Amino acid sequence: MIRAKREETSLIVAFIDVNGLKAINDRHGHAAGDALLHEVAAAIRLRLRPYDPLVRVGGDEFVCAVSGLDMDAARARFDEIDVAVVGGSISVGLAKMGPDDTLQALMERSDAELRPGRRDS
């Protein structure tokens, strides 16, 4: 956030939910659920820059930040990630940083914007 403000560039926070993880764990075991989480993380990492932070914040949730993209480009990028996840799907909420945003406010807005992935719409 500090770098985006300093460089006067956009910053978008994505709140990502792995759809159906509990059902996969229940049906196929925790090893299958772990494999799905690894697949999601790898799909995200392959489509973002090495310095875009990615953090797992819950059992089936990730948060990441991308700078220099507008909302349409960010949405397209996360749609690509959803399609790349072969063993499941994701829901993504995006929020663009405003001048007075805190990290907590930005994360709360992105969480509130969660929408189903392309294949779940």
| 8-state DSSP, 68 | S
pLDDT of residue 31: 97
**What's the pLDDT score for residue 18?**
96
* Cβ atoms of 94 and 13 closer than 8 Å: yes
Taking the C-alpha atoms of residue 4 and residue 29, their distance in angstroms, rounded to an integer, is 41
Choosing from 17, 26, 52, 60, the catalytic residue is 60
Per-residue pLDDT of the chain (121 residues; tens, 9 = 90+): 999 999 999 999 999 999 999 999 999 999 999 999 999 999 999 999 999 999 999 899 999 999 999 999 999 999 999 999 998 999 999 999 999 999 999 999 999 999 776 555 4
Active site residue 79: no
